[in-house]
Amino acid sequence: MKDRYLLFVISLLFCCLLQAQEKIDSLLVVLDRTIENTAQYEQARLKRIDQIKEYFRTRKSTSPSEEYHINQQLFDEYEAYICDSARYYINRNIEIALQNNNQDWLNEAKLKKASILGKTGLYAEGVALLKSIDSKQLSREQLIEYYITFEDIYLYHAEYAMDDEYQIEYLNNLYTYRDSVLQMVEEGSYQYVIAYTPELLQQGRGEEAIEMLEAYHQKLSPDTRDYAVVTSILAFIYQSTGHREKQKEYLIKSAIADIRGVVKENNSLRALAELLYEEGQLQRADVYMKRSMEDANFYNARLRNVQASRMLPVIDHAYQVEKQKHQQVLQIFLVVTSLLTLFLACAVWYVIRQVKKLARARQDLLRCKTLGMDELDLEYRLGLCDYFEGKNSAAVEHFAACLSLAGDEMGIAAIYWHTLSAWRMGANPSLLKAYRPGMEVGHHTAYEKAVSAFADQTRFAQVLREAEAEPEDLEAVMVLYGLSVQARACGNRAEGQHLLDETLRRDGFWPCYAWLAAWSERNQRHLNRL
């Protein structure tokens, strides 16, 4: 009984681990796609920035208050994206505040500038700027921001001085200002959560911190800066409590949010790269660390640059060694592939030889006519022979003859091949007018779908989608090949070529006329290039 129970527990644990790994793998795929779409997210942010600037340019006159708030908007857009631009607009706001003797504006702008100085590694300058502010003049919200900015700068400074004797001093200052933040912010607010949960961890109450963050992060949109920060803290606390897979999961989520939010001053992607390196996932680790380094250099984030610089050479070297091993394996595969290519060349020669027999087969079919072969079957097969030989004019005549002899089932096939033959010779496919929706086509449903697109160009996209989703290769091939000829006939050679390639990829039932026609066209094109 105990053995059965133990086996059940082990099986359950294995299933949980498998599900967790599948979740991680899916998230990594999302992260890779998000990185690929970086330009798209940046364009969206630049568009917002341009709109703000355009609004400012089109104003006939702007009051100091209006300019101040427009600069604040631009600062918010640039803050985590381009630090130099952010500093420019906040410096401009400091000038406006001084020119207008507005102490409230001045304090607000100094707080923003100090935050930027901390992010870019100018810790002493940031602290000095904060100390130049009279905290007694600050509003409640400004005072909270004042303490948070001090806390952030000392956190950055402590991270930078990893083995420095002054790290303890920076951490003690951080704890002091964190206490001040917690005394002022509303319990359950964003500022409270991100300040209190590290405090809980420090007190040995990591599970309470996790519970609070797990509940709070579900309230946030996954494309926001707040989400990126909260999930980053969650990852750190999971790491501290020994939950490695959960740490990885939330680092990925944080990195995705950073990229979608166009946050160049980020840390999660670098931390994820180090974690993947430790697990032996060298390729991804190398890609992520290089991307992290690029972001740090782009933003001029000295701390993130130093952190990435420490690990990048190590990861890159390990990846290059692993890559060399793979190259050796690839060389072996290259030899095998060369042999297979030789075999394929022989096979192609054989097939071409068989195609040449097509002409002789056509002659044999003509002789069958004198022997009483069914006229419809004869005309259809002669039409196909002419089509494969490129004798489109003759093919048109044979398929036209088929239509007068056939019912709907063979008629739809005749219309299909007649139309393709006409298009290939640049003529008008006259038999298309014989097509009508609702024809009794029997098993020739693929022909009917293609012909419906031939007759109505607006159905092209819909029919194409259906063909791409069709699980049966035979059905898909006949539609895709027909659409490839249609696209080329309409002047879209690139799409026509793409659809021809897609036809040949669906080779689960290659001995169908449409697949052979596609194969013949591709190989004829290759031969013409020689």
In a domain, 324, yes or no: no
At 452 the pLDDT is 92
In a domain, 185, yes or no: no
State which amino acid sits at residue 199: E
Backbone angles phi, psi at 92, to 5 degrees: -60, -40
At 18 the pLDDT is 53
Q: How much of the chain is in helix, strand and coil states, percent to nearest 5? A: 80, 0, 20
At 217 the pLDDT is 92
Give the tens place of pLDDT for each residue, 363-379.
554 454 444 467 888 88
Q: Compute the chain's Rg from CA coordinates.
A: 35
Tokens of 331: 């060389």
At 309 the pLDDT is 63
In a domain, 513, yes or no: yes
DSSP string, 378-431: HHHHHHHHHHHHT-HHHHHHHHHHHHHH--HHHHHHHHHHHHHHHHHTT---GG
Provide the b/e sequence for 396-434 (b: ≥16 CB within 10 Å). bbbbbbbbebbebebbbbbbbbbbbbbbbeeeebebbeb
CA 323 to chain centre: 24
At 339 the pLDDT is 72
**Among candidates 365, 428, 371, which has minimal Cα distance to 398?**
365
Give the CATH number, domain containing residue 518: 1.25.40
Q: Which residue has the tokens 């003759």?
A: 394
Length of the chain: 530
End-to-end C-alpha distance for the chain, whole angstroms:
74
In a domain, 223, yes or no: no
Q: What is the pTM of this model?
A: 0.59
Residue stretches of the chain with pLDDT short of 70: 1-20, 162-164, 303, 305-314, 316-319, 321-326, 328-329, 332-333, 335-336, 340, 343-373, 509-511, 524-530
In a domain, 476, yes or no: yes
Domain carrying residue 489: 374-529
At 317 the pLDDT is 66
In a domain, 489, yes or no: yes
In a domain, 264, yes or no: no
State which amino acid sits at residue 459: R
In a domain, 453, yes or no: yes
Count how many domains the chain has. Answer: 1
Q: Which residue has the tokens 């989400």?
A: 227
